[in-house]
């Protein structure tokens, strides 16, 4: 029994740390290459796309920190799942823009569509990290 609990905690920690690394990298990219992220912001939203880019970058860095810290990992898992769901409309918007553009190659169009379902394992890994947090 103890071995099973230990393995669950180790796999949870690994999932949390993988997600933390992914989110930290994405958060940094929001500031290093903001134009790419600005393009994902739906035009229907009020205000500047850059503001959304910066706020989501800060959010990703903050969530990464909560996942990386064992004491806040449970909260971090819940926040990560919510964040992955919240940014899905921006991912849809970006895919739509690429698909509609005559300048986009068929391969890139396919890649943009193929990446959309990847939100599902991100959400499930975040919930797993939350559920198995110490």
6 contacts 131 by C-beta, under 8 angstroms: no
pTM: 0.84
Question: What is the rounded distance in angstroms from the CA atom of residue 16 to the CA atom of residue 18?
Answer: 5
93 contacts 37 by C-beta, under 8 angstroms: no
CB neighbour list of residue 95: distance below 8 Å, 6 or more residues apart? 112, 113, 115, 116
- Average pLDDT of adjacent 10-residue blocks, the chain of 134 residues: 49 85 97 93 92 97 96 96 93 91 95 94 94 86
Q: What is the pLDDT of residue 132?
A: 86
The DSSP code for 117 is G
């Amino acid at each position: 029994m103890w071995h099973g609990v230990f393995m669950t905690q180790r796999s949870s920690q690994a999932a949390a740390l993988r997600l933390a690394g992914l989110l930290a990298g994405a958060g940094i990219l929001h500031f290093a290459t903001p134009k790419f992220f600005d393009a994902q912001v739906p035009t229907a939203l009020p205000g500047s796309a850059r503001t959304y880019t910066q706020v989501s970058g800060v959010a990703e860095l903050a969530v990464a920190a909560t996942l990386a810290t064992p004491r806040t990992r449970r909260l971090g898992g819940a926040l990560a799942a919510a964040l992955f769901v919240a940014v899905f409309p921006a991912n849809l918007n970006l895919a739509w823009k690429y698909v509609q553009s005559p300048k986009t190659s068929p391969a890139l169009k396919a890649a943009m569509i193929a990446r959309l379902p990847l939100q599902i394992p991100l959400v499930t890994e975040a919930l797993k990290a939350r559920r198995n947090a110490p």
